[in-house]
Structures are given as structure tokens and as C-alpha cells.
């Protein structure tokens, strides 16, 4: 069968820019999947998506005018109902066949099959394939119903209605045009009160033709660019904009860098149909304001792209992406410069006003800010964070660290009461650091205040100094213990308090900075900071939190490529004192697993564990005089030679060497199980052999629980 490429476009009013890329991708994939499911397009058919501020479109290669016929087998009815005692068709069967368009002589071709306990009649036949018009209509209807629309609009149709305004349509934005081309032929489909054709609209102001007529499905993008001044493909338009931004920066001179945030690039790509970049500037006096404030003002409020110098400092120039390309851009440039000035002036005013009060003077105001209706005010939360932070500092450092941590914890949340953070909540912590330096609190405390929210997301940097690290741990622990303590646990994909992110942050800090403190100690410190009765009892809370942390560790390490069995083995080791050792132990387990002796030793370890579980409390003690069998003597002798060396390597932090030293025990261990009855009838022999195995078991599992590696 011959095929043609298909183009379908829905022309609408301006779509929400932040959702445009997602809508475009979904529109294309859903419609293409609908065609493939009906046999109108191959499963590997090439699909190209288009999305501009005023259109969603898709180009599908190799679409059939009619899907091929397909063989279907349909269950009709039980044999006892369809055939009489002589084997002839009953009226019920004939009626059923007639309704399906089959002749009476098809009775002889019916198949039989068991369906449960009864035998049924089956009709095998060829079913005609769907036509493209019918199949495209179905695919389009399903696509519009499944689109991930952030917020639906309802509007009334005024065209093709007997009573204008009485027919209501719901979609993301009012639709004004529908185009469907199979090659050069228009395919008749309807949607949202529109009938398909072969015309669309181009740029509102710069299109050379209106409407734009598309002669062939394959001409869509080129014709729309030539006659409509629109780059229809989202990715192509974004790339063109990135190139224009980079080119504009290069023309300004060496060292200029454009600050191109991915989210902002996507949003601006959703605002323009054909980008044009212009260079603007603002008064240099505003550069006295922290650059984070100015950058956020320009990006969030104005959708501008700031320019940095070679040292990464903000300059007074910025780039604007316009949707028009006037011969004289001065009016557009001047307008943008006038618009940004009051925004920057507001930031300057907030900064100057905030510095008139010290952070210390704002501490009392935290008691008037509600944190959570069950957990009190920000002032009460600050007191809990201080308590946790000081306990951690006492565990990890000296009196100087405790004093710095206490000061930083007392002031860390005070910038929430500043005008700048009130205007830009994203700057909490950042502005606290600026104001702390202005108050003369020193760089260590200022940096800690800025960093105590870190890591904010997966892959984010950890706090830069010890004060910040302790404060970040305390802040996250207070949230986790408090929310778990009142039953606000994350469920499914819902985690409104970002507890998974907080727990992952704690895991990363403990592992990456090798802190000599356990999660159990952290939970103890966290629970002790809450008033009695405010949250659940510690014994009820601790197992839930420990499991929650362990799930985060497993997820993190599996994402790094570590097998679950290896991770489980390391976490199960009773000698794991610090999570900072986990990666070194995992490397040792990986090296051990590559040894030819590893599988046998892991299996033996699992067997020993099972034996010891069934025995009463076993003391890891061996009396050499009670060793009777040659195999147990040989194992004891080998252990005397190997275990001290393995222990010395373990205590020296050489986990790989410690595990590899144990490989020498494979042969004597195998011989022991082949030639020795552990549970001997003589109680002294039995206890001695169990003690031998207990000594071996403890030595083998110091780095990791090797039984977890057994298959």
C-alpha cells in the first residue's frame, strides 16, 4: 500500500508558555500513537512535533489512506446454544452471524474452543481496516481528551451554530483553526467546533501572507517560516534563540556571558514565534544591590537574560528576546529599559531598608510567624533547630564550633522577616548571608546561614563549612522528626513537605563528609528537642525514620550503579559505625564478588548464619583441646593465620584487603562442612563447634553481611 506523510495542526490563541513544550510533545505522541494503534502508521513511524505560542501540530511519516484488513477471532456463544442435537445452526446462531455480516454457510467454518468449563463457537474472519478520515478523527478526539492541560478554559462557539453562544467548548485556549493534510490532500475531521482545511495563520505582525496556505504536509515548517515568519518547532526555535543570545554576548566583547536558565529559556521559547535578541542596559548604581536580587528580578518578573563579566559578576547590560524585528529597535529597547528600572529600584529600596535592622533584632519576630498549626511558630522551630544543632556540634567538634553553630541557628530564619525575602522567597538564606556580613558576624556564620538549606535538590552542592553542615543537618532533622512525629508522612508521589529530599540531604552529608555520627543519634537529638507530648514517642518514631533513611540510601546507591545485594550486604553489617564508610565498603564488596572464592564463601556464610539462628546463645569461643576432627582442626588453624590479618586490615580502613584475605578460608570451610557434624550429640563438642563458627561468622561479616551475596 502507498503511504503519504500526515500533518495535523490545531491553531489556537496564545498557549501558556510554561506548559507549551509539554503540550506539544503530548499532542504529537498521543495522536501518533492513536494512528499506530489503528494500523494507519507503522510502530516505528517518524514523528515530528511542533509547538509555537499559537499552535500545536504533528507530522507523522508514512501514513496509510486505509489500514490493512486484519484477522479477528470472535467468540459467539456456547456450542449447546448455537447448535442443535443434529449439529445444525440454531436460530440464535444464525441471527448472531447475520448481525456480524456473515453468511449462513459460515457455520461450517466455525471453530470450537474451551472457555472455562464450556465449549464455545468462534468465528474467524477478516475485518476491514479503518479509513484515514475515520481513524484520524478517533485519534484526534482521544488526543484532545488526554492532553495534560494545566487549566481548562470554557468558551462559547459563535460559528456554525444555529444559536450563537449556546454551544460551549472546553480547551486550554480558544481554538480558531484546524488543518489536516495527507500529502497534498485535505482529510476531513472536526474538533472544537472547527472543520479541517489546509490554511493556518502566521506571525501576528510579520507574516508576509495571511492566511498561510500549506500545499503539502511536508512543506509545513518551511512554508510557515517563509510566509508566516514562524519557527514552528519548539526545539528549533529554542536553539535559534540560544544562538542569538550567545551571538549578542560575543558582539559586546570578550568575557561577556549570558545567564541562560533552562526554565527561562523554555518559557521564553513559549512566548515568541520567531525570536529576535536586543541588548539593553540599566543604571550602574543598581549594581550595589546583591546580584542575586537583580538577576531574580530580571528573570522572574521581566523574562530578561542577565549578562555576566568574565569573573561571573553581573553587568549593567542584559538581553531581551522580542517577538518582533523592527528596523529601528530603539523604541523596544527603551521601553524595556524603562520597565526594568522601577523593578530594580524596588530591590534597591528593600535592600537598603533591610540593612537598617540587624538580624538579631528580628529574632523575637519569629514567634509571630506560624510554622505549622501542630508544631508552633518559627520561633519555636528555631529553638528546636538550635537544640539539635548544638547537640550535633558537641558530638563532632569543640566549644568554638558549638558557639558558632548556636549563633547561626538562632539567626538562620530571621531573613524570612525581611522585605527582600518577602518579595523574593527564593532568596531566603542568600539574603541572610548578606545581612549577616553587614552585621559583622563573620564569613563562617554568614556562609552557614546561606548554606543551611543545602542540598536543595539532587546533585546540589553540600554546605561549604562545618558550621553550615551541622546547621543543615539540624534543620532537616527538625523537619523530618516533626512531620513524622505528627503523622505527615509522604504517600505515593505526594510529598508536600519535601521529606524525601530532606532525608536524602541528610544521607548525602553523612556519607560524603564522613561524619562520625549515626542516624540513630541524630534521631535521638531531634526527638529530644520537641516538648513532651507534641509528637509521637521516640520508640514509635525511630523505626519509621530509620527505614525512611535506609530507603533513600538504597535509592541513591542504586542510581550510582551499585547492585542492591551489595548495598544490602553493607547496610546489614553490625560493624557499620559511620555512613561515611559505605562507599569504601561497597568497593570492597565489588572486588570480593569478583573473586572465584566469593560465591562459595557467601553460601557458607549464609549456612553458618542459619545454624547459629537455630542454636541458643552462642559464645564466640573455641577450646583447641575439644577439636577432634581433622577438618575442624584445619579450619581453626587457618582462622588463626587469616583472621588477625583480616582484622588488622579492617581496622586500618583497608576493607578490600580485609575481604580478600578471607578468600584463603574457602577450602578449609568447604572441608569443614563436608567432614564435621556441627550439632554433635556431645554438648561440649557441639558448643565448641558452634563457637568456632560464631568466631568465623563475626570475622567474615565485619565489612558486609556476606550472606546477602549468596544466590
pLDDT tens sequence across 64-81: 998 888 777 778 888 878
For the record, the C-alpha cell of 552 comes out as 533513600
Q: CA 655, CA 241: separation in Å to the nearest integer?
A: 52
| Dihedral (CA of 344, 346, 352, 357) sign | negative
Q: CA 83, CA 64: separation in Å to the nearest integer?
A: 41
Most confident region among 166-170, 341-345, 372-376 by mean pLDDT? 341-345
- 685 within 8 A of 639, measured Cβ to Cβ: no
The model carries a pTM of 0.78
Average model confidence (pLDDT) across the chain = 89
Residue 179, beta-bridge partner list:
9, 197
- 635 within 8 A of 669, measured Cβ to Cβ: yes
For the record, the C-alpha cell of 123 comes out as 468465528
- 198 within 8 A of 213, measured Cβ to Cβ: yes
> Count H helices, E strands: the chain?
25, 20
Provide the pLDDT for residue 183. Answer: 95
Residue 657's closest CA among 567, 580, 587?
587
Residue 605's closest CA among 686, 550, 685, 659?
659
- 696 within 8 A of 614, measured Cβ to Cβ: no
Statement: 584-709 belongs to CATH 1.25.40: no
Coil, strand or helix: which one is 236? Answer: helix
Provide the pLDDT for residue 650. Answer: 87
b/e for 551-566, b at 16 or more Cβ within 10 A? ebbbebbeeeebeebb
State the DSSP string of 609-658. HHHHHHSSS------GGG--SHHHHHHHHHHHHHHHHHHHHHHTT-HHHH
Better-scored residue on pLDDT, 103 or 586: 586
Residue 153, beta-bridge partner list:
171
Residue 56's closest CA among 147, 181, 190?
147
Cell numbers 510557515: residue: 224
- 61 within 8 A of 4, measured Cβ to Cβ: no
Determine if residue 122 is left, alpha or beta; phi over 0 gives left, psi from -120 to 50 gives alpha, anything else beta: beta
Provide the pLDDT for residue 80. Answer: 79
Mean pLDDT to the nearest integer, 166-171: 82
The answer on pLDDT for 414 being more than 90 is yes
Mean pLDDT to the nearest integer, 646-673: 87
Fold of 367-561: Hypothetical protein af1432 (1.10.3210)
Q: What does each C-alpha distance from 100 to 32, 38, 95, 219 come to in angstroms?
A: 30, 20, 9, 43
For the ranges 32-46, 52-66, 106-120, 385-399, the lowest mean pLDDT is seen at: 106-120
The answer on pLDDT for 24 being more than 50 is yes
The β-bridge relationship of strands 175-182 and 167-171 is unpaired
- 692 within 8 A of 680, measured Cβ to Cβ: no
Provide the pLDDT for residue 245. Answer: 96
- 171 within 8 A of 161, measured Cβ to Cβ: no
Mean pLDDT to the nearest integer, 541-555: 91
Q: How far, in whole angstroms, is CA 438 from its chain's centroid?
A: 38
Provide the pLDDT for residue 161. Answer: 46
For the ranges 151-165, 248-262, 276-290, 551-565, the lowest mean pLDDT is seen at: 151-165
- 15 within 8 A of 270, measured Cβ to Cβ: yes
Provide the pLDDT for residue 55. Answer: 96
Q: CA 468, CA 455: separation in Å to the nearest integer?
A: 11
DSSP class of residue 66 equals: B
Q: CA 409, CA 376: separation in Å to the nearest integer?
A: 17
**Burial class (CB within 10 angstroms; exposed 0-12, middle 13-18, buried 19+) of 515:** buried
- 243 within 8 A of 277, measured Cβ to Cβ: no
Mean pLDDT to the nearest integer, 359-384: 93
Report residue 345's pLDDT band, with 50, 70 and 90 as the boundaries. very high
Amino acid at each position: 500500500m502507498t503511504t503519504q506523510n500526515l500533518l495535523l495542526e490545531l491553531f489556537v490563541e496564545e498557549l501558556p508558555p510554561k506548559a507549551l513544550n509539554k503540550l506539544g510533545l503530548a499532542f504529537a505522541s498521543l495522536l501518533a500513537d492513536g494512528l499506530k494503534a489503528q494500523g494507519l502508521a507503522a510502530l516505528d513511524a517518524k514523528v515530528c512535533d511542533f509547538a509555537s505560542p499559537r499552535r500545536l501540530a504533528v507530522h507523522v511519516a508514512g501514513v496509510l489512506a486505509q489500514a490493512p484488513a486484519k484477522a479477528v477471532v470472535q467468540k459467539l456463544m456456547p456450542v449447546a446454544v448455537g447448535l442443535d442435537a443434529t449439529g445444525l445452526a440454531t436460530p440464535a446462531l444464525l441471527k448472531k452471524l447475520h448481525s456480524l455480516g456473515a453468511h449462513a454457510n459460515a457455520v461450517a467454518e466455525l471453530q470450537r474452543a474451551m472457555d472455562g468449563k464450556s465449549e464455545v463457537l468462534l468465528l474467524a474472519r477478516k475485518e476491514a481496516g479503518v479509513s484515514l478520515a475515520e481513524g484520524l478523527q478517533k485519534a484526534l478526539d482521544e488526543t484532545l481528551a488526554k492532553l495534560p492541560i494545566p487549566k481548562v478554559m470554557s468558551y462559547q462557539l459563535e460559528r456554525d451554530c444555529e444559536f450563537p453562544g449556546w454551544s460551549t467548548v472546553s480547551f486550554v485556549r480558544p481554538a480558531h483553526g484546524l488543518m489536516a493534510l495527507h500529502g497534498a490532500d485535505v482529510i476531513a475531521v472536526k474538533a472544537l467546533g472547527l472543520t479541517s482545511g489546509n490554511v493556518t495563520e502566521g506571525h501576528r505582525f510579520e507574516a508576509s501572507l495571511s492566511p498561510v496556505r500549506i500545499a503539502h504536509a511536508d512543506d509545513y515548517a518551511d512554508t510557515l517560516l517563509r510566509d508566516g515568519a514562524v519557527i514552528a518547532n519548539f526545539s528549533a526555535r529554542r536553539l535559534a534563540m540560544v544562538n542569538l543570545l550567545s551571538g549578542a554576548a560575543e558582539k559586546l566583547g570578550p568575557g561577556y556571558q549570558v545567564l541562560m536558565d533552562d526554565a527561562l529559556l523554555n518559557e521564553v521559547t513559549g512566548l515568541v514565534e520567531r525570536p529576535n535578541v536586543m541588548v539593553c542596559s540599566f543604571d550602574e548604581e543598581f549594581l550595589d544591590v546583591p546580584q542575586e536580587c537583580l538577576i531574580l528580578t530580571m528573570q522572574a518578573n521581566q523574562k530578561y537574560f542577565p549578562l555576566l563579566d568574565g569573573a561571573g559578576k553581573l553587568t549593567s547590560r542584559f538581553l531581551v528576546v522580542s517577538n518582533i524585528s523592527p528596523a529601528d529597535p530603539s523604541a523596544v529597547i527603551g521601553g524595556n529599559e524603562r520597565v526594568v528600572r522601577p523593578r530594580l529600584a524596588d530591590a534597591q529600596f528593600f535592600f537598603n531598608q533591610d540593612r537598617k535592622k540587624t538580624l538579631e533584632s528580628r529574632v523575637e519576630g519569629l514567634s509571630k510567624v506560624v510554622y505549622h498549626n501542630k508544631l508552633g511558630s518559627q520561633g519555636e522551630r528555631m529553638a528546636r533547630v538550635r537544640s539539635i544543632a548544638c547537640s550535633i556540634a558537641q558530638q563532632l567538634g569543640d566549644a568554638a564550633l558549638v558557639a558558632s553553630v548556636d549563633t547561626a541557628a538562632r539567626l538562620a530564619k530571621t531573613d524570612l522577616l525581611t522585605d527582600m525575602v518577602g518579595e523574593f522567597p527564593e532568596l531566603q538564606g542568600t539574603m541572610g548571608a548578606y545581612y549577616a556580613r553587614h552585621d559583622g558576624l563573620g564569613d563562617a556564620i554568614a556562609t552557614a546561614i546561606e548554606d543551611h538549606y543545602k542540598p536543595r535538590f539532587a546533585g546540589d552542592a553540600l554546605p561549604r563549612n562545618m558550621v553550615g553542615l551541622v546547621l543543615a543537618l539540624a534543620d532537616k532533622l527538625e523537619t523530618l522528626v516533626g512531620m513524622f512525629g505528627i503523622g505527615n508522612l509522604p504517600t505515593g508521589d505526594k510529598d508536600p513537605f519535601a521529606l524525601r529530599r530532606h532525608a536524602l540531604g541528610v544521607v548525602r552529608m553523612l556519607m560524603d563528609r564522613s561524619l562520625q555520627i549515626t542516624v540513630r543519634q541524630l534521631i535521638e537529638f531531634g526527638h529530644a528537642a520537641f516538648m513532651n507530648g507534641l509528637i509521637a514517642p521516640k520508640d514509635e518514631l525511630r523505626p519509621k525514620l530509620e527505614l525512611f533513611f535506609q530507603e533513600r540510601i538504597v535509592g541513591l546507591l542504586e542510581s550510582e550503579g551499585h547492585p542492591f545485594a551489595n548495598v544490602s550486604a553493607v547496610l546489614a553489617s553490625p560493624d557499620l559505625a559511620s555512613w561515611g564508610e559505605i562507599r569504601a565498603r561497597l568497593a570492597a564488596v565489588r572486588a570480593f564478588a569478583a573473586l572465584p572464592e566469593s560465591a562459595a564463601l557467601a553460601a557458607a556464610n549464609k549456612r553458618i548464619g542459619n545454624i547459629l539462628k537455630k542454636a541458643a546463645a552462642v559464645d564466640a569461643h573455641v577450646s583447641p583441646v575439644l577439636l577432634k576432627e581433622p577438618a575442624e582442626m584445619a579450619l581453626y588453624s587457618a582462622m588463626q593465620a587469616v583472621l588477625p590479618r583480616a582484622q588488622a586490615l579492617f581496622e586500618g580502613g583497608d576493607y578490600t584487603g580485609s575481604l580478600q584475605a578471607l578468600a584463603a578460608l574457602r577450602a578449609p570451610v568447604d572441608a569443614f562442612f563436608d567432614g564435621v557434624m556441627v550439632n554433635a550429640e556431645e554438648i561440649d563438642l557441639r558448643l565448641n563447634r558452634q563457637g568456632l563458627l560464631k568466631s568465623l561468622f563475626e570475622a567474615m561479616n565485619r565489612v558486609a553481611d556476606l550472606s546477602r551475596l549468596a544466590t
